[in-house]
Structure 1
């Protein structure tokens, strides 16, 4: 059975990206599986046992838990009350689809809208089985992922996909507490590449001080443009966002709580930073201060900043404190490089103005 997966809500999308990592361990060429329009086409030849082993290995690495050999005792696991058998059943349904039942009823999937014929006893419904951290049982509270309730049906095509969403999330640290993020976009190809690059950026020592998730999103788009040697398609730039799953400390309750926040960059700014020349220059400069001026649309400040650095570079007695306070990257503030950095910043302003003026003429 060929599975065609289309971009949907971020929770499902993270599941698809996680699923691709599972199938990649089994030999899937991800780039062959995603078409130019961003949909995923899967012909699965691996067995449910092979897929489970890959899934469980990655899950153990990501969550430090394993479902292999489990027949119970998983109530407090990330996927509550699941066993090796139940997960393999979900995999089998994803591969083969549902089998015919006597006197089936029609259920509409709350995720993809697909209508499936099955019985209520066999049907899966959206609840804390899909994550005991942010989802709830019917008797407790609404889940924090989105507006679904525990009565919403999950079809066989989405069931196992949702059990892979944890593998699509990128672990980070925020104020000493754990957090995870996912870059959501209208295309699985764009999502796969952006999340892969974001993971690399987070893991790089030189980027350990990234605290602003907008900066990370911008740097990922810039890296995409530079490394893939391509600009993002216009339709892709319109809906790129970071979904940040973070932990916060509740002072009153003195407990750690989970929260979801959504961060994005204005469409016009994404268009700027995905321009090849601008992306290349921003990457070359490498200063968060400069990046923030662009993200905040404070383009005239680039001129002031550039000229201030230029004056210091030409001075017989440059103000070392001003230079050190203004620039973070060591190579940028080394003797003889300050003027070069200033030139790059001024050139960046020129490129931005040129692009903005062209946009006005269109």
Structure 2
């Protein structure tokens, strides 16, 4: 098979896949499409993405793009000056093999694997070249019938790779190096895992996907501290667009309430993307919320999601552009939309305020659309 097929799974796996897609899409190939997101929600990855890069022989194309993504806009000269170590000499072996890109790879790996980074200590500095070879080997990945099942994706992916046992132990056994929020501290106390088990097997493909997981979080800066969200769904296509819209909306309007951000993202999905979602998909759209070291989940009722994904209702909400009105829809308080329209109409009729009268008509129209859709409270 030329393509590696990926199906939606648990939220952490989905988070990792969306992060991987984000890094790849940042620098697309002009020759061909290496990644396809199908209408039924799968992802197909062309194995050629793990071929040696034409611009940087010896380094797989997927890793080149990730390094470029992580080091974009950063000056190597400024990086050399940071800290007390002579980085030119320290990473001389990388430079000898890869030229200037070797320094950029070291810069990127420092952001991923060193102290106070998302995947601290997963890959040691002396293992940089080993990890490059490991990523390169992923082109040959296949499912092995008698292989160990991955605790992340549920598959038995296997690849022959020539790396040290110490590195294998860190890559392929789930621990805090993969996720500080979810992973256990193996051999230490306390061990924050479940089912009386210290860990589980992580397949080679998930190892590479996981180191992209931090890219998919949408950070919300709040007075009480940082909070991050990820919108999860049973379709990678739905996830891709919902998270893309949520990121754009937050950057534009700084909406801090998770349910509002999820609600407006669904409205954007209905308006911008002609997609028909089944009931099961709509019922399983949720926001994963990370606050501190805790993970929580938020979802809207299926009936509410169905309303927001109705193209006419979404268009009406967009035209009105009121957070209060959106909240009434989210709360199921549809009568408040009608009352607001009546009050606005009465107060502005004698003034002949065309703008406010138009606003009241939009409220009446939205209320009518919702009533037609619900038939007095029952969705049809």
Q: Give the match's secondary structure for 2:4.
A: strand
Give a deviation string over 1:287-313, Cα, whole Å, max 9, x none: 010000000011111111111111111
Deviation at 1:8, TM superposition (A): 0.7
Q: What RMSD, in angstroms, separates the aligned Cα atoms of the two structures?
A: 3.5
Label 1:60 to 1:244 Cα distance change in 2 as closer, same or farther (>3 A): farther
Specify the alignment match of 2:372 in structure 1: 354
Q: 2:140 aligns with which of 78, 96, 102?
A: 96
Distance 1:236 1:148 in 2: 33
Distance 2:368 2:37 in 1: 37
Deviation at 1:143, TM superposition (A): 5.4
Specify the alignment match of 2:284 in structure 1: 239
2:29 pairs with 1:27: yes
Q: Give the match's secondary structure for 1:245.
A: strand
Deviation at 1:211, TM superposition (A): 1.9
Distance 2:211 2:231 in 1: 18
Unpaired stretches in structure 1, ≥5 consecutive residues:
247-256, 319-334
Whether the 8 Å CA contact 2:41–2:234 is kept in 1: the answer is: yes
Distance 2:345 2:34 in 1: 46
Compute the TM-score of the two structures, normalised by the length of structure 2: 0.75
Deviation at 1:188, TM superposition (A): 0.6
Specify the alignment match of 2:362 in structure 1: 344
Whether the 8 Å CA contact 1:179–1:245 is kept in 2: the answer is: yes
Label 1:39 to 1:359 Cα distance change in 2 as closer, same or farther (>3 A): farther
Label 1:220 to 1:352 Cα distance change in 2 as closer, same or farther (>3 A): same
Label 1:283 to 1:300 Cα distance change in 2 as closer, same or farther (>3 A): same
Label 1:151 to 1:226 Cα distance change in 2 as closer, same or farther (>3 A): same
Q: 2:153 aligns with which of 106, 112, 131?
A: 112
Specify the alignment match of 1:50 in structure 2: 61
Q: 2:106 aligns with which of 59, 69, 72?
A: 69
Specify the alignment match of 1:301 in structure 2: 336
Give a deviation string over 1:40-59, Cα, whole Å, max 9, x none: 11113233443223223334
Whether the 8 Å CA contact 1:225–1:231 is kept in 2: the answer is: no
Specify the alignment match of 1:249 in structure 2: none
Specify the alignment match of 2:271 in structure 1: 226
Q: 1:153 aligns with which of 195, 198, 201?
A: 201
Distance 2:297 2:64 in 1: 33
Whether the 8 Å CA contact 1:190–1:236 is kept in 2: the answer is: no
Compute the TM-score of the two structures, normalised by the length of structure 1: 0.79
Distance 2:22 2:237 in 1: 13
Label 1:168 to 1:283 Cα distance change in 2 as closer, same or farther (>3 A): same
Whether the 8 Å CA contact 2:34–2:46 is kept in 1: the answer is: no
2:313 pairs with 1:313: no
- Larger displacement relative to structure 2 (2-11 or 47-56): 47-56
Whether the 8 Å CA contact 2:371–2:377 is kept in 1: the answer is: no
Whether the 8 Å CA contact 1:282–1:291 is kept in 2: the answer is: yes
Give a deviation string over 1:252-293, Cα, whole Å, max 9, x none: xxxxx4322211110001001110110000011010100000
Specify the alignment match of 2:314 in structure 1: 279
